[in-house]
């Protein structure tokens, strides 16, 4: 009798998809945040060089 209840419980768990949407949103959020981190890391060197150039140009223009 207990084995039949276990099978019924497993079947119920396999059919239940109540948490699927939240898991999907979590995966999408993880992918988006990973993409943002990778993009910022890839452009960090070029942005740093740009800001250094701007600093040098402004400093030279001010004559300091």
Q: What is the pLDDT of residue 30?
A: 96
Tell me the Ramachandran region of residue 18: left when phi exceeds 0, alpha when psi lies from -120 to 50, beta otherwise: alpha
**pLDDT at residue 13 tops 80:** no
- For 50, the token pair is 């740009």
Global confidence as pTM: 0.49
- pLDDT band at residue 1 under the 50/70/90 scheme: low
Where b means 16+ CB within 10 Å and e means fewer, 51-60 reads: eeeeeeeeee
Separation of alpha carbons 53 and 43, rounded Å: 15
Q: What is the pLDDT of residues 17-60, one digit of tens each?
A: 777 778 888 999 999 999 999 998 888 888 889 999 999 999 99
Q: How many other CB atoms are found less than 10 A from the CB of residue 61?
A: 8
Output phi, psi for 4, to 5 deg. Answer: -65, -40
């Amino acid at each position: 009798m207990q084995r039949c209840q276990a099978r019924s419980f497993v079947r119920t768990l396999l059919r239940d998809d109540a948490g699927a949407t939240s898991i999907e949103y979590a995966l999408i959020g993880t992918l988006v945040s990973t993409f943002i981190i990778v993009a910022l890391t890839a452009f960090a060197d070029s942005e740093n060089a740009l800001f250094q150039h701007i600093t040098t140009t402004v400093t030279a223009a001010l004559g300091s």
